[in-house]
Structure 1
Amino acid sequence: MTEQQPKVEPAIAAPKPAKNRTRMLMWVLGPALVLGAGGWLYLTSGRYASTDNAYVQADRVTIAPQIGGRVVEVNVRENQAVKRGDVLFRIDAEPLEIAVARMQAQVESVRSLLDAARSGYSAAQADVRSAVADLDYKKQQFQRLEELRARGLVAQQALDDAANNLAAARAKQDSNNAALSKAQNMLGGLPSTPDEQLAGYKLALAQLAQARLDLEHATVRAPIDGTIGKTSLQPGDFLGVGQAAMPLVANTLWVDANFKETDLTHVVVGQPASIEVDTFPGRKWQARVASISPASGSEFSLLPAQNATGNWVKIVQRIPVRLALETPQQDGLILRAGMSAVVDIDTGRQNSPIGRWQGSDTTSPTRVAQAP
């Protein structure tokens, strides 16, 4: 009988203490990290007001001539950057130059008329003196003939002629006085009044100034720094007064953010903000709250909502907030009007649960600035 061999039990592998510790740490630290992050978000919530309903904005100017005429020169093209004072286009100036020459001749004509009025004033004064002397003589002659007629020494015909001559002398004196008054009025009451103080000369100078201004407006210049928008203006086009020729978008940029009314509880003017534009993800621009609209966007619409009639459903309204960019251009990145943006306004730690527990900071400079 063969001897039975004893059964050998397989060796049990020793546990790996390092692996078990790692697993335990994951089970313990994982939930702790999640709870910690959630608690931090809760405790700091309410500090930032955010919205993605925000867009970059810029001033837009519609370039239009102040005089009508044919375009003879266009100096800019679409999407071209211009500086204030740069020539955009020119209108035919020949008719305006003729108008300036005509007004200059008109000024010289008025000046000549005023010089003639001064000479006429002197002549009228001499005529008045002559008429006064003639009237005195005719009065004396009439009185002598009247005495002689009373004694029967002259005929009635002689007395009648003397009376007629006296009446003619009075009429001539009145006429000369009227001529003197007319010449005096043309000279502003005094013959020594300078031309520049007389109404007729002022009118002529004003017409000349208007003609020169129209000539200057024949050259249309950029009123601000900016970029030319879409335009099809060509030499030969005729433009009327005030007719739109091309748009000009200013270089001054800001951001209009439309916040929900429930997000603006702690937003005040002067608070810092960060802006991220969709065109440049990951890049942020610093800004500050410049102003808050006095009404919701719907109040400025053409047909505001009539909530007092029919069925009504409450809708959270949007309030426009303007943000002033502190550095509009950075690292060669150019913002353009109409770009979409995401805005975060830092309203201060006092608006979070931690801040409310510690007490509001009533000395915050942003809130002091809002105090009446």
Structure 2
Amino acid sequence: MSEAINNTPSNGNGKRKKALTLLSVAVLLALAGYVAYDKLIGSKHESTDNAYVQANVVQITPLVGGTVRAIHADDTDYVKAGQPLVSLDPADARVALEQAESQLAQTVREVRTLYANNSTLNAQIKLREADVQRAQTELNRLQADAKRRAPLVETGAVGREEFEHVQSQIKAADSSVAAAQSALSAARDQLASNQVLTDGVPAEQHPNVQRAAARVREAFLALQRTELPAPVDGWVARRSVQLGQRVAAGAPLMAVVGLQQAWVDANFKEGQLNHLRIGQSAKLVADLYGKKVEFDGRIVGLAAGTGAAFALLPAQNATGNWIKVVQRVPVRIALDPKQVAEHPLRVGLSMNVDVDVSDQGGKSLVDTARPSASVETKVHERAEAAADADVDRIIKANLGRAIKTAPRAKVNG
């Protein structure tokens, strides 16, 4: 029995030593696995959970002031580009347009008068030239008559009184010639003055007509702008406008969010940016759908500064005690439109982002500039074309030409 008691401690030490050995081996294996994972996989990925969905949020603001008479869309509604959202009272704008159209018609007729006066003034010049020629002929006749009678005065064949009468007629004729020449000169100056107003351009391109036409376009567009269309496809959000409200130009009424072109701003730590490159692929998971839905993305750009730099109250690191805080910089990641259409996202949703940085062939985020994204709307082009058509109709109708014109463009209201 004493022998059994003496063997117990040595057996316990052996088990302890074996356990410690196994634990050491496990730790070494785990450390080796971690090192292997970091070298083979971890070092080739940069990830962050500080990422959020962004999209174009288009503010709907009126270009003219007015009273709201109709609201055609509400929060959460989906609208297409060009679909009316808000209607303002068009009465004042319609009256202004009618006044501008009447002024344009009157201006066209006045300009036509200027061009017609050229022919009238040309006819007057010819009349004045005939007057000059007639007066000069009469003067020449009287001078020839006086020349014939001058020798007869000495012989007494012609009385001196008669001869003096002829001389008086010559002076009167000479005055008539001078007056006719002055009238001719005045007619020519009047024609030249009128031609200054008409030369070089047809009547429809005359500056007076163009100025009146610009006023018509301005009034026409003001009337068109009483209808606020959706500039892009998207969902209505933040509607604040109410019926009967008097709104000023530029006041925000609602917003249209274009979720079809959503992207993700992933806020990576500054130490992670060194491995990121333009064009690197990324895998994204939204908390909304969980890991069952994975989005494919691609790095397209880097913000110009950290989030703290653009904060409402930026940090003042040069004052007082200072504690270093690792900064984050937004990196823009484009999403696959097909995946976004299949699994819609919303602005501000959280995302988990994992970027494969194994491909270092792309340009550095700070060494390249992303091409400017083309964002435009064409919903306002129709109003401009309609304004031009209205101006063209009025000009042609008042030029007195037999030209077939298109039907008058329909205006709002």
Coarse TM-score class (shorter-chain normalised): 0.7 to 0.9
Matched, 1:39 2:35: yes
Structure 1 counterpart of 2:277, from 253, 268, 272: 268
Q: Is the 8 A contact 1:328 1:335 kept in 2?
A: no
Contact 2:111 2:206 in 1 (8 A): no
The structure 2 residue matched to 1:210, chosen from 218, 223, 232, is 218
Match of 1:347, as an amino acid?
A: V
Corresponding residue SS for 1:123:
helix
Residue in 2 that maps onto 1:11: none
> What secondary structure sits across from 1:46 in the alignment?
helix
Tell me, yes or no, if structure 1 residue 133 matches structure 2 residue 141.
Answer: no
Partners of 2:112 and 2:363 lie apart in 1 by 71
Output the CA distance in 1 between the equivalents of 2:334 and 2:288: 19
Aligned-pair CA distance for 1:295: 3.7
**Does structure 2 retain, via aligned residues, the 8 Å contact 1:231–1:246?**
yes
Name the residue aligned to 1:54: 51
Q: 1:230 aligns with which of 232, 238, 243?
A: 238
Paired AA for residue 90 in structure 1: S
Structure 2 runs not aligned, ≥5 long: 1-14, 151-159, 369-413
What residue number does 1:277 align with? 286
Q: Residues 11-58 of structure 1, C-alpha deviation per residue, up to 9 Å, x if partnerless?
A: xxxxxxxxx9xx99x958855763453233332332111222221111
2:404 paired residue number: none
SS at match of 1:243: coil
Partner residue of 1:325?
A: 335
Structure 1 window deviating more from structure 2 (131-140 vs 145-154): it is: 145-154
Q: Shift of the alpha carbon at 1:246?
A: 1.3
| Contact in 2 for aligned 1:268/1:289 (Cα 8 Å) | yes
Structure 1: 5+ residue stretches without partners: 1-19, 349-360
Q: Which residue of 2 aligns with 1:338?
A: 348
- Compute the displacement of 1:346 (Å): 1.0
Distance 1:101 1:325, change over 3 A: same
Distance 1:128 1:194 in 2: 23
**Distance across 2 between alignment mates of 1:332 and 1:367:** 31
Give the Å deviation of 1:140: 4.5
How many residue pairs align between the two structures? 333
Counterparts of 1:195 and 1:366, CA distance in 2: 61
**Residue in 1 that maps onto 2:301:** 291
Correspondence list, 1:298-313, <5 A: 298-301=308-311
Deviations 1:261-308 (A, max 9, x none): 211111101111122233333343221111123443444456766767
Cα shift at 1:79: 2.3
State the Cα deviation string for residues 104-140 of structure 1 (Å, max 9, x = none).
3233323322333333221111111111221233344
One-letter amino acid matched to 1:222: A
TM-score (norm 2): 0.69
8 Å CA contact 1:285–1:328 kept in 2: the answer is: no
Residues 1:76 and 2:85 are matched in the alignment: no
Report the more deviating stretch, 140-149 or 54-63.
140-149
Change (3 A) 1:286 1:38: same
TM-score (norm 1): 0.76
Cα distance in structure 2, aligned partners of 1:134 and 1:102? 47
3-state DSSP of counterpart to 1:276 = strand
What code does the residue aligned with 1:218 have?
Answer: T
Judge conservation of contact 1:92–1:218 (CA < 8 Å) in 2: yes
Contact 2:108 2:204 in 1 (8 A): no
- The answer (yes or no) to whether the contact 2:278–2:364 under 8 Å persists in 1 is no
Question: 2:63 aligns to what?
Answer: 66
Q: Summarize deviations over 1:177-214 as a string: whole Å, max 9, x none.
A: 1222233233335xxx6432322222333322332222
Hey, what's the Cα distance between the residues in 1 that align with 2:253 and 2:172?
81
Confirm or deny: 8 A CA contact 2:112 2:203 kept in the other structure. no
Asked whether the equivalents of residues 269 and 370 of structure 1 are also in contact (C-alpha less than 8 Å), the reply is: no
Q: Structure 2 residue aligned with 1:121, among 118, 121, 127?
A: 118
| Alignment CA distance shift 1:77-1:369 (3 Å) | closer
Superposed displacement of residue 90, structure 1? 1.0
Provide the rounded CA distance (Å) in 2 between the counterparts of 1:70 and 1:331: 37
Question: Which residue of the partner structure matches residue 9 of structure 1?
Answer: none
Alignment RMSD (CA, Å) = 3.5
Contact 2:59–2:256 (Cα < 8 Å) also in 1? yes
Residue 231 of structure 1, CA deviation = 1.7
Q: Using the alignment, how far apart are the partners of 1:133 and 1:332 within structure 2?
A: 90
Which residue identity lines up with residue 175 of structure 2 in the other structure? Answer: N
Cα 1:179–1:84 change in 2 (3 A) is same
1:360-371 aligned at under 5 Å gives the runs 366=362
Secondary structure of the residue aligned to 1:34 is helix
Within-5 A mapping of 1:57-206: 57-142=54-139, 148=146, 151=150, 153-154=163-164, 158-189=169-200, 194-206=202-214
Native 8 Å contact 1:296 1:319 kept in 2: yes
- Conserved 8 A contact 1:286-1:327: no
Matching residue of 1:357: none
- Give the letter for the 2:221 counterpart: L
